[in-house]
């Protein structure tokens, strides 16, 4: 069978049987899958037609150690052949979960020393909201239930996580909301203070923030913001949850992004980069203080747990992935290559008058599209055209086009080198030239 035949067969089967997440069902049904990838090596992916593309997004901000890492496959193989899985309910345990939990305690800031494992970011979010509410209930404040989050924040798609997400199209999908979720303006201390006053601190369990909003357009918390939030939360007996699902494990040039601000949250969420996407895993870290209070005050069983909490194979892969991040100095590489990426963005900003603000923190970054004549957003979104032109030329990037954004976002694997950054910028430049022509 010829290669193209296989491609056509797969396109057809994909249309018939595969409901894609966060995708246009109509477009998939009409045009088929945009890419069907078959292999990956380093920062590159190859599709069924043999086309090689540079992954400017590390897939979904997560394949941080790059594709084709045999060490991770071997770690999974070794663990699967020994003990693939055994559950962690009823106080049963397994060695990789114990070792990963203690490794995370070593890496996480401050006294975040205990972890509840999940299989991803959405589960980590819902778990954190429940743990925060449970904590206050145990302390005799069952009425402290509200979760405050930010506009443009993204926390996932479970019912709780969707409700905390501050991007309105995610809410309008079903028009049904979980109670006890309130949104404040992005990185606005005044809005947070006003919300606490309005809702009453005695009704608020926690405030959740991403240090860098990812899906909301790579918006970086301004210097001083998180420190002030920490103070406000302490003054009002509100738990601070930091969602590091994207930013954890080196993405921003520090192991965890809250280190940029010198802040230790009460609960910290991780997923994605903990295994570089090789296998699903996530979790919620809590401070010693919270952990001890939960131990001291709880009675009976903590009735919250996923079948795959503390999955032995996932944890073994997580341990090996962290070993790679440390041995290859990927946190430092993220910082240095992030500067290179920013320099590239700045040179493009000089060349193209429709590029507005550019920003990076480590290897997460964004370029904004603005109409140079009005200094406002174009009437029709430009960013999707940039990403389509980039894809044609062999570069994958994502765009954010809601909540007033017209933004191209970037999050390449943390193993990327200088030459590959230059390739990324050069393909992006060609894509921008094509878009510029279409604007004239």
- Residue 283 is a binding residue for ligand PLP (CB under 6 A): no
- Residue 428 is a binding residue for ligand PLP (CB under 6 A): no
Residue from 100, 128, 226, 245 touching ligand PLP (CB under 6 A): that is 245
Q: How far apart are CA 71 and CA 327, in angstroms?
A: 13
What 3-state DSSP class applies to 330? Answer: helix
Residue from 122, 162, 287, 313 touching ligand PLP (CB under 6 A): that is 122
Site string for ligand PLP, 363-392 (x = CB under 6 A): ------------------------------
Q: How far apart are CA 303 and CA 184, in angstroms?
A: 31
CB of 244 to ligand PLP, least distance (A): 8
Beta bridge partners of 55: 396
Q: Which residues contact 357 (CB under 8 A, 6 or more apart)?
A: 366, 367, 368
What 3-state DSSP class applies to 261? Answer: helix
- Between 151 and 155, name the residue whose CB sits nearer to ligand PLP: 155
CB of 212 to ligand PLP, least distance (A): 9
Mark the segment that binds ligand PLP (CB under 6 A) among 5-13, 153-161, 193-201, 406-414.
153-161
Beta bridge partners of 181: 147
CB of 187 to ligand PLP, least distance (A): 15
**Both tokens of residue 109?**
């800031």
- Residue 271 is a binding residue for ligand PLP (CB under 6 A): yes
Q: How far apart are CA 402 and CA 61, in angstroms?
A: 19
- Residue 278 is a binding residue for ligand PLP (CB under 6 A): no
CB of 123 to ligand PLP, least distance (A): 7
Q: How far apart are CA 217 and CA 406, in angstroms?
A: 9
Q: Is the Cβ–Cβ distance between 212 and 411 less than 8 Å?
A: no
- Residue 121 is a binding residue for ligand PLP (CB under 6 A): yes
Q: In Å, what is the CA distance from 412 to each residue of 57, 120, 340?
A: 5, 20, 12
Phi, psi of 326 (to 5 degrees): -75, -50
Residue from 56, 109, 214, 310 touching ligand PLP (CB under 6 A): that is 214
- Between 116 and 354, name the residue whose CB sits nearer to ligand PLP: 116
List contacts with ligand PLP (CB under 6 A): 60, 120-122, 125, 154-156, 210, 214-215, 243, 245-246, 271
């Amino acid at each position: 069978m010829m290669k193209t035949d296989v491609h056509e067969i797969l396109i057809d089967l994909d249309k018939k049987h595969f409901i894609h997440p966060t995708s246009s069902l109509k477009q998939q049904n009409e045009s088929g899958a945009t890419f069907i990838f078959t292999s990956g090596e380093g920062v590159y992916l190859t599709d069924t037609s043999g086309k090689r593309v540079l992954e400017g997004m590390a897939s979904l901000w997560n394949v941080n150690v790059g594709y084709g890492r045999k060490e991770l496959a071997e770690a999974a193989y070794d663990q699967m052949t020994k003990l693939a899985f055994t559950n962690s309910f009823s106080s049963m345990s397994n060695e990789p979960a114990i070792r990963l939990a203690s490794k995370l305690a070593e890496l996480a800031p401050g006294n975040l020393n205990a972890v509840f494992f999940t299989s991803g970011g959405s589960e980590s979010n819902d778990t954190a909201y429940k743990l925060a509410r449970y904590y206050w209930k145990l302390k005799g404040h069952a009425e402290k239930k509200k979760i405050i989050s930010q506009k443009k924040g993204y926390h996932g798609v479970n019912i709780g996580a969707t409700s905390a997400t501050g991007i309105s199209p995610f809410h309008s999908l079903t028009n049904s909301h979980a109670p006890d979720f309130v949104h404040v303006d992005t990185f606005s201390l005044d809005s947070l203070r006003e919300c606490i006053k309005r809702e009453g601190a005695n009704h608020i369990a926690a405030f959740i923030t991403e240090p860098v909003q990812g899906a909301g357009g790579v918006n970086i918390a301004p210097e001083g913001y998180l420190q002030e939030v920490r103070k406000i939360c302490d003054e009002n007996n509100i738990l601070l949850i930091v969602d590091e699902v994207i930013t954890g494990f080196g993405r921003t040039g520090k192991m965890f992004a809250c280190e940029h601000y010198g802040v230790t949250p009460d609960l910290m969420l991780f997923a994605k980069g903990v295994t570089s996407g090789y296998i699903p895993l996530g979790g919620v870290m809590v401070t010693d203080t919270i952990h001890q209070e939960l131990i001291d005050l709880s009675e009976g069983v903590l009735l919250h747990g996923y079948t795959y909490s503390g999955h032995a194979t996932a944890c073994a892969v997580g341990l090996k992935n962290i070993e790679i991040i440390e041995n290859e100095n990927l946190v430092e590489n993220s910082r240095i290559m992030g500067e290179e990426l920013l320099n590239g963005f700045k040179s493009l900003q000089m060349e193209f008058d429709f590029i507005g603000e550019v920003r990076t923190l480590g290897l997460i970054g964004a370029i904004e599209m603005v109409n140079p004549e009005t200094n406002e957003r174009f009437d029709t979104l430009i960013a999707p055209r940039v990403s389509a032109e980039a894809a044609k030329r062999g570069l994958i990037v994502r765009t954010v086009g809601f909540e007033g954004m017209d933004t191209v976002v970037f999050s390449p694997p943390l193993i990327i080198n200088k030459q590959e950054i230059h390739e990324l910028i050069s393909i992006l430049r060609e894509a921008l030239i094509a878009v510029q022509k279409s604007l004239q």
